[in-house]
Structure formats: C-alpha cells, structure tokens
Amino acid sequence: MLHYTSLAAFYTSKEWHDFRLMLIALRGPVCSKCGKIITNPLDLIGHHSPIELTLDNVNDPTISLNPDNVVLTCLDCHNEEHERFGHKPERKVYIIYGAPCSGKHTFVRQQMKRGDMLIDIDALYTAMSGLSSYDKPNNLYQNVMSAHTALIDNVKTRYGKWNNCFIVGGYPEKRKREALADELGAELVYCESTKEECMARLICDEARRNRRDEWSKWITDWFDRFSA
C-alpha cells in the first residue's frame, strides 16, 4: 500500500518514475496540451488532472497512479497550468447587465471563483448600510457611488491582484455601457429577460415583498430606457 508523507516524496518515488515512463511509452513523447514532441523524457511532466494531487489523496492509487487522471505536458505548459515562472493568465473583466430581477446575481454566483472581484452597487449598499441588498437608502447614494467609482478605477488600472472581475449593473443605455466596456477592456454579458418575466420573479420573491412597488418602478424604468 502507498504511504507518502509529502507530495515531493511521491514524485521522487520509483512507483511514480516507472508509471510516468509507462505513460510515455504508451502515448508517445508528446505534450497533450500544445502537441510538441519532447525528445528528452525528463522534460515531459506527468500532471494530475482532472483531480489534483494533494496530501489527502496521494496515497490513493486510483488517483495518484490512475492513467485517466494523468496527462503528459511539456515544462512550459505545466508552468502555465500552475501559473508559475511568468505564466499568468490574462485577467478578464465582464459587465453583467440587464433589468432588475433579470437573474444577474444568479449568473455571477455561478461563474465567479475564489479570488475574483465583484463590483455591485447592491452589495455596496449592503456593506455600507447593513441592510438587505433590496433596501437602498437614498441618503447613502453619494457614498456608494464614490466607492463604486474607486473600484472601477482599480479595474481600469488593473490595480491589485484580483483574478477576473464581474461588474454588475443595469446599464440600460447602449452608448454608456459600450463606452464603459471599451474603457475597461470588458466583455458585455446581457441577462435577457422580458418585463413580464422580471415582474413575475419580483412577485415570487418573498425577500422583496415589502418593497414590490419600489422595485416594480425600477423594472418599468429600466425597460423604458433600454436600448439594444
């Protein structure tokens, strides 16, 4: 039975050495990512994917020594996979726009990963007021927008070490949202919903039960201003 107390011990073991050479013999000395032929077998890396090797599973041969969980890559592709030695993926910026109750926040929750940045006026209101994201006191508007502008400037200058950035907003006017996208180098993502669909979601949302009149006006106003 395998028993390794560190990943380094596993990767220097005879079991892993023989296993990697077996994969090279079966598959050929070719990088599975870029297709480059590698003449020196020492330069062909065995990379555990889709299940990453950890201290919790290194002693499980169905993961650590499973051919279906190991791909062969060249050194450059392996460094790129782990974002090492100058390999850093381009940070992407997405502007998620659409009417109130169109599903913007649901979409973002499904797409975001740890280390991504979220710029969302509703979330800023919550942070500053301590109220729910559906309750936005008018007297805090200037403070919220000041923080929002500062965060947008961070994206513009790529300040900080965030990965990707998701900017959530209504942005009903085509000219303004396209100008912002050009300024930030962002991709526009439209959460398309009809006015009737947004109103139906509002009615079904118990969290907004006491503010339905207010949100109904915001939905109507968005569709009155929207330009595709």
Per-residue pLDDT of 87-114, as tens digits, reads: 456 789 999 999 999 989 888 988 888 8
Closest CA relative to residue 90, chosen from 162, 149, 181, 168: 162
pLDDT score, position 82 = 57
* Burial class for 48, CB neighbours closer than 10 Å (0-12, 13-18, 19+): middle
- pLDDT at res. 206: 86
Question: In this structure, what DSSP letter does residue 9 have?
Answer: H
pTM of the complete model = 0.61
Eight-state DSSP code of residue 30 = B
| 131 within 8 A of 67, measured Cβ to Cβ | no
Distance of alpha carbon 204 from alpha carbon 130, whole angstroms: 24
Of the options 3.30.70.3280, 3.40.50.300, 3.30.390.10, 3.10.129.10, the CATH number for the domain spanning 93-225: 3.40.50.300
Q: Where are the domains of the chain?
A: 7-81, 93-225
Cα angle value 195/205/126 (rounded, 5°):
100
Q: Which segments in the chain show pLDDT lower than 70?
A: 1, 81-89
Q: What is the pLDDT of residue 31?
A: 92
The encoded tokens of residue 68 equal: 């279906």
Q: What are phi and psi of 49, to 5 degrees?
A: -160, 135
Residue-wise pLDDT tens digits, 29-43: 999 989 989 888 778
**CA separation for the pair 52, 46 (Å, rounded):** 12
